[in-house]
Structure 1
Amino acid sequence: MTPARRLTAILLAFCALIAGCGGSVGPSPVVNDPLAITVQPASAVIYPGVATTLVITGGTGSYVVVSDNQAIVPIVSQATGHSLTIIANPVSADTSVNLSVRDTGTAPQKLVALTVRPGTIANAITITPSSAACTPAICTGEEALVTATISQAGIPLPARGVRFDVVSGDVRFITTPVNTSPEVLATTVLTTSDQLGQARVRLRVLPGAPNQTALIQITDPETLAFQRVAITVRQVPGPGNTAFFVIPDTVTFTGPFANTCANNPTASIVIFGGTPPYNVVATVPLSGGGIVTASGTPVTIRGNGSTCFTDIPVTITDATGRTIVATFSSQQGTGTAPPAAVTIVPGSAAITACGGSVNLAIQGGSTTLGAAFGVASSSSAVTVAVTGRTITATRVTSVAPAPPVPSASPVTISATDGTTTGTASITVPTTCP
């Protein structure tokens, strides 16, 4: 086979997948030397839990990687492109692990020498609250001391830089000295280990923080080894270990009718425990609250207008920053709204001639079982008749030789459904022969 054909055969070789305790690296976008495999770095010191990436080039571009200590450096997945990321498991002492890298052709196998060193962040991380009121948690608004030990194979590492980060939750690190005002808080702080390899930082739980679990991370910047620690935050009980609560903690207003929410509703809540005075803050569309000076004092909360709303908070904070919440909702009712009051339209009209008439309409109101609306006139000179919701008012005339029929003007026409009454004013001729 000519050298050119041999090279073509190597480049087109099938990529074999890992079996057993090995792994494979996909085709490399860069093949520097088809007859030799290159791994960068060729040797490395790595730490448990910290990702290390190897770059592999040369050969056919398809590789099989095998670890001689699968328990310490497992090869668990195929790499992406020409890189392989490895993560070591914890060790108690320096441990040597060799990786063998071969391609799918005839290039010589390449060995990578790894030294796995114990992690520098010890698992024995302590968190000491300044108060035992919420033990084992930290009370809202209070301080705690976080201590981490930096060591290598049990040997303390003094003067080592250590980074503390807030991963999640309402906790912050105090960056100012003790008894310094104002206190400065941060989510990240750098410090240095002492002669015993211990790094310490002060931690503050934010005032008003609800019950929660926060996460912080301690990192050795030199090795990138890290540990994460969960911190439990609890609302501190009041004096004498009394609870801090509100009754009721859920209020629902209900409107009188379907499609209608309550109009300007009010309700009282009562706060107990904690440390007075309390600051009660209502969220729009609610109003009310303010400063409450004593436990057991009712507080009036109002809904503004007839707006419907769901789970609107009223926040209650005591003198130490502990916070509880009552929620308010306003929902539609289920009843049937009564009809509108009876009215007559137009509200005023005129009959200009004797014997003339005018029609008026009844709006609103309701009658049952087909009963008619009751109608009446304030003058006998004007007669009224009703058909359905139509009123006909007529100016009567005399029949000769009877005298003329006098009338005051205007005349009031009324209609009623038995519950409400509407009226209209009609101008008429005062005399009709």
Structure 2
Amino acid sequence: MSKVLVIDDNSAVCEAIRHLLALNDIDSIYALTPQAGLKYLREDEDIDLVIQDMNFSEDTTSGCEGELLYRSIRSLQADIPVMLMTSWTQVEAAVALVKGGAADYFSKPWDNNKLLLSVKNFLELRELQREKQKKEQALMDSRMGLQKKYDLCGLVYFSESMHRLVDIATRIAASSASVIISGPNGSGKKKIAEIIQKNSRRNKQAFIRVNIAALPRESMEAELFGAELGTFPDANKNRVGLLERAHAGTVFLDEIDKLSLEAQVKLLNLLQTGELERQGSNEIVKVDVRVISATNADLKQVIEAGGFREDLFYRLNVIELELPALKQRREDILPLIFHFLGSVYSLAPDAPKALQNYDWPGNVSELENCVERAKLLAADKELHISDFSIDVRKNKRAASPVFVEPSKDIIEAALELSGGVVSVAARQLGLSRQALYRRMERYDLHKNN
């Protein structure tokens, strides 16, 4: 059951509100002084909403006492909703506090229906907020568990969608099943392949990375499967192909959609039989290799167009991992930026919101290059949005900020990257040192300085 704290020096007011809430199954307690109300907040973690008066002394009508109480409540619990009770003389002060973060205000005497509606709305929002915090905490605990159990190869992420993908990648790593990783350019497909290999039983063996698009068409088969002496003009010695070199290990075939149809036939045979033939040879070579492939294309469309064999697709696609674009996991943007910035550089206050709202069409690769360029060209160690050489005006999202309040994960990431130096982490987050301290206290994060 939700619990409301009413703080008012008039016991009749407190009893009236308590009775109204009780009739609607809302528990409440009340305090007749600001000191008593603050004591409740210190000792009772189950309070979901505060309703407070703006005046507590008979000879004071300015609302300054209510403002002081509100500030004190905020210092104890920065995110608890606070509703203000006013008389006509204190409306201006109440409005100013609402603009500064208070939930709402209402005048005495009040309308029971309107008051009750507001209370229910804010309690519902409070419950949603708590559920979100629980979910974020569970995600953080799960992510920390993965980091302790597996080698994540320095991958930086905070989003739920990436966590699900990394969780699957680590769980399938121990098998020898073929994996295909799909996703847009620059989204991190190579990193996911590296994580799979690093946590596999083949991690002590060869891990060969091949960009199919970079192989010359005329020598693609020879590069992958090998060739005998004299097979073609440049074949002046026996060539061991990349797949054979990866025997007992793993091969990562990036841009698999660019594989020639002739090479596709040979790769299919290898996956079916564990055997290959070098060009110009009838000798069968036994090869035990795990194949991880990647593509930014829709392979089903390529199949329909006749550019890729359907039977090969199903052999490669025992496990499919779909890597989302960076704009679909915006929670990862700022942690990645902090990671690439390091502890020397920080973000100016104008940068975090604009950077998180930018769509990053080149994904993580574009973001990393952009940060490195900004570090080289910036006039000082505090980077403004103008240093990043991106046109945020082209982003429709830029007008509606997403990053309003740094989460616990974001703060922890900034503290870790700054070596625990609060002043440096605060600059990275675009906060004052005092503002970061308040958020650290709220999330019970240890202060090093």
Higher helix share goes to which structure? Answer: 2
Could you say which structure has the larger radius of gyration?
1
Give the TM-score, by structure 1 length: 0.23
Higher strand share goes to which structure? Answer: 1
